Structures are given as structure tokens and as C-alpha cells.
Amino acid sequence: MNKQSNTYTILYSAIMVVVVGAVLALTYMALKPKQDENIANDKRMQILSAVHIAAHDGDVKSVYDKYVTESFVVNVEGKEVAGDAFAVNMAAEVKKSEKAERALPVFVCHLNDGSVKYILPVYGAGLWGPIWGYVAVEADGTTVYGAYFSHQGETPGLGAEIAKPDFQNQFSGKELYKDGKFRSIDVMKAGQKPADNADYVNAISGGTVTSKGVEAMLKSCLSDYSAFLNQLKNGKTK
Amino acid sequence: MLSKKNKEVLFNPFSKNNPVIVQVLGICSVLAVTAKLEPAIVMGISVTAVLAFANVIISLIRKTIPTNIRIIVQLVVVAALVIIVDQILKAYNYEVSKALSVFIGLIITNCILMGRLEAFALSNGPWDSFLDGVGNGIGYAMILVVVGFVRELLGSGTVFGFQVIPQSFYDMGYMNNGLMILPPMALITVACIIWVHRSRNKDLQEK
């Protein structure tokens, strides 16, 4: 058969596409369960990082089940609603324009010393793509116990530093409420201070857009939780 | 096992015919992944694997490929291999796959792949093509490692994420060079490597 003819070329590309498509589909289906498990374990690991618990590949699930004893979903008014907190997709929730429709997951974590922390997921935008994280709040509803941030593709060495302990550890002990009002936590350049007296941490030099992204993410996501946090402040424990 | 020609095919890309510093291919990814050493190494390994297998596959089917769509066929083979590598990393080494994120997908755009498929695999047998792929992959990885080492050491004071420049240096006023983290310094580092390499290999110098 003439290899330069149109018929041959068309047949060749058609067969190639079918074969390659089949191979890729098979690979995907064969590896999918393993990948889903990795993604779920990765999420568990991130949630645990917010309360400074490091889990390793093999035992993530058991460590998670030991500490995170309870999880539930609240709405903006702080009322508990039906739903599986672990399955909530924050990326979809923050896009809902009606705040009342947002499902806000809360993970309750009992530490070894008997204290209770509430872990709240946050989600926002960095410079190149989405950034997200988990903020652990003390039972008083205002003090931050720990924070974890991650990103999809921020610049290595600059914006990507938000995923490093050096940046995240700054958040421990900061307060979300100042003078009785919800203020969130600002991310400021060294030497600057927020105008509204909010608690702040140092931004990453060279990673300004990502740092400001973290600040905006905390402000918008945590303010959704402010009714829930108010309940904690007022002593209503779950 | 290795004839004289095989050896040349495998070892030439290490120095005399290095894809990065002599053929000046794949510069884009040298900029992108070398701010830290670890992603540079994983990227080097991934490119070597994809290049070796793409070379073998193209070499096996080279007699059947219609000339006017050969570039498309090459792209499809490379893209399929890259997706498979990405999926396998996600399933069995999730940590590394997270660290490399988009860069694995960007292997497709690495000019070394198309360059070797077009220049070598289309006209040579599978075994030679495999060696050529491994050789060029390692030649590329070597440069990534050198550039990644220099940039991480001077830019962050670390190697593999471990602090190597002692705290006493910082106390005396030493500072990490933030410019090393930025892409232009990757080009300048590569240029320095080319400079040293050419001054040691007189036959590479243009008259």
C-alpha cells in the first residue's frame, strides 16, 4: 500500500488515536482507586498538619481517625446542616454567590492533652492558581492554634513558601477577633501594620501576590465561619 | 553488548554532543525546574524515561509512519507516555507528583524529545534509539543537577532542603542571593557552564 496516500494517512491516524485512547483509558481505570486513596490521604494529612501532627504515608488513615473524632457541616449562620464534611469541595463552595447556600465543613480534633481544636478549611486564589489551607482554632473561637497552606503552582522559592513551616508557624497564637470584632489575620510586608488593628504575620518577600492571596482567602473564608466562631466564643461547645 | 557505535550513541550526549549546552535544546525547562535540586533530579529522571521509551516506540513503528504526519505521530506518542508517567506518579509516589505538579505535563514541550525523535529514532533501530534516549536524558539531567545545585546553594543556602551554609555566616552579614531563584540566573548559570565546556573542548569553538 502506498504509504504517502491520503487513505493510508487517514487510516493510520484513526487507528493510532483508537489505540492510544484505549491504552490511556486502561491506565486511568487501573490506577484510579489508588489515586483516589492517595488524594483522600493527602487531604487527611493536610488537615492533621493544621494541628501540628505529622502522619506518614502508611498510617495516615489510622492517625486521622484517632485525632479527628468528629466532623460536621455548618451554614453561615453557624447552624449545623446535613452533609459529609470530608466530601465537601471547598472550591465549589466558595464560588456559590449566595452565602447562605455554602456548606462549611468543621473538623473537630481532640489532642492528646485533652484540648479540642476546630479545623476550618479555606480556599482562595494565588498568583498562578488556587491556594488552600486549613486553620485550626482553639475552643475559645478566636485564637489560632495552627495553620496549613498549600498551592497548586505558585513560584518555587517565592510564593510557594506559603507551604513551608516558617510561614505557617507565624499564625499560631494570633487572634481572629480584635476589640470584639472579627478582623481575620493580615499578611503584611515587614515593617507595615494593618490599619484596623488586626493581628498580622509577615509576608514572603518576592511573593507579594501570593501573600495577599492568603490574606484575602483568610478574610473571605473565615468570615463565613464568624457566626460559628461567635458561638464558640460564647461558650457553646459542640 | 555495546559496540563502538553504541558507546558513541550513549556517551556522546554527556559532553561533546550534550543536548543542553551544545545543541541548546530544552532550555525552557532548565529555567523552570532548577530553583531547587530535588525537582531538578526527578525531572531529569522523568525526561530520561519518557525519551528512552518514546525513542524505542517511534523507532519500532518508523517504517509505517506516513511522512506528512510524522510530527503528529511523535507528539501523540510523547503525550501518551507523559500522561502515563504522570498517572503512575500520582498512584505510587503522590508526594513527588505534587512537588512537580505541572512540570511533568510540560515534558511534552521539551524540545529535546522532538529533536531526538526526529533526528535519531526515525532513522535508527530500537536498541540504538533506546541508548540514544538514555544518553541524551542523562546529558540533560546532568546539566539540571549542576544548575539546580548552584541555584539552590546560592539562592536559598540549602542543598536538598537541608541548610548547608552555617548560621554564623548569616550572623556575619552573608545573605542569600534572591536573584539566583529568578529565571534569568538559570540562563547565566547555563552560559557559564557552556563557557567552561567550550574552553576545555577546542573543537567546539567557532572560528
For chain A, domain boundaries: 69-233
Query: Chain B contacts of A153, Cβ < 8 Å?
Result: 101-102
Cβ(B100)–Cβ(B42) under 8 Å?
A: yes
DSSP A203: P
Nearest CA in chain A to B81: A24
pLDDT of residue A236: 61
Amino acid identity, position A172:
S
Is residue B10 in some structural domain?
no
* pLDDT band at residue B146 under the 50/70/90 scheme: very high
Task: Give the pLDDT confidence of A26-76 residue by residue, as tens digits.
Answer: 999 999 998 888 888 888 988 998 888 887 767 888 888 888 888 889 888
Kindly state whether residue B206 falls inside one of the protein's structural domains: no
Residues A185 and B171: their CA atoms lie apart, in Å, by 31
In a domain, B12, yes or no: no
Contact B127, B9 (CB under 8 A): no
Q: What is the pLDDT of residues B170-195, one digit of tens each?
A: 888 888 888 888 888 889 999 999 99
Residue B146 lies in a domain: yes
> pLDDT band at B80, cuts 50/70/90?
very high
Classify B58 as helix, strand or coil.
helix
Domain-located, residue B167: yes
Dihedral over Cα of A233, A104, A66, A42: its sign? negative
Domain range enclosing B56? 19-199
Question: Is B169 a member of any domain?
Answer: yes
CB contacts, 8 Å: A13 with chain B: 69, 72-73
Rounded CA separation A105/A47 (Å): 12
For chain B positions 85-144, those within 8 Å of chain A (CB to CB) are 87-88, 90-92, 94-95, 98, 101-102
Q: At B101, which helix (H) or strand (E)? A: none
Question: What is the pLDDT at residue A237?
Answer: 53
Residue A58 bridge partners (DSSP): none
Which tens digit of pLDDT belongs to each residue from A190-213? 888 887 788 889 998 888 899 999
**SS3 state of residue A206:** coil
Specify if B172 maps to a domain: yes
Residue with cell 483522600: A40
pLDDT band at A136 (very low <50, low <70, confident <90, very high): very high
- pLDDT above 90 covers a percentage of chain A that reads 28
pLDDT of B1: 64
On average, the pLDDT of chain B sits at 86
- Residue B4 in any domain: the answer is no
Confidence of residue A19 (pLDDT cuts 50, 70, 90): very high
Query: What's the pLDDT at B201?
Result: 85
ipTM of model over 0.90: no
> How many domains does chain B contain in total?
1
| Residue labelled with grid coordinates 487531604 | A43
pLDDT over 70 percentage in chain B: 98
Q: Which of B33, B94, B162, B180 best probes binding to A when mutated, by most A CB atoms within 10 angstroms?
A: B94
Mean pLDDT of A118-123: 92
Residues near B39 by Cβ (< 8 Å), separated by ≥ 6? A156, B33, B99, B100, B103, B148
Query: Cell for A57?
Result: 504515608
Between CA B90 and CA B98 the distance in angstroms is 8
B73-78, Cβ contacts within 8 angstroms, sequence gap of 24 or more: B73/A12, B73/A13, B73/A16, B74/B113, B74/B114, B74/B117, B74/B118, B75/B108, B75/B114, B76/A16, B76/A17, B76/A20, B77/A20, B77/B117, B78/B50, B78/B54, B78/B107, B78/B108, B78/B113, B78/B114, B78/B117
pLDDT band with cut points at 50, 70 and 90 for residue B129 = very high
**How many other CB atoms sit within 10 Å of the CB of residue A173?**
12
Question: Residues of B23-37 as b/e, b for ≥16 C-beta within 10 angstroms?
Answer: bebbbebbbbbbbbb
Prediction pTM value: 0.70
Across the interface, whether the CB atoms of B83 and A34 are under 8 A apart is answered no
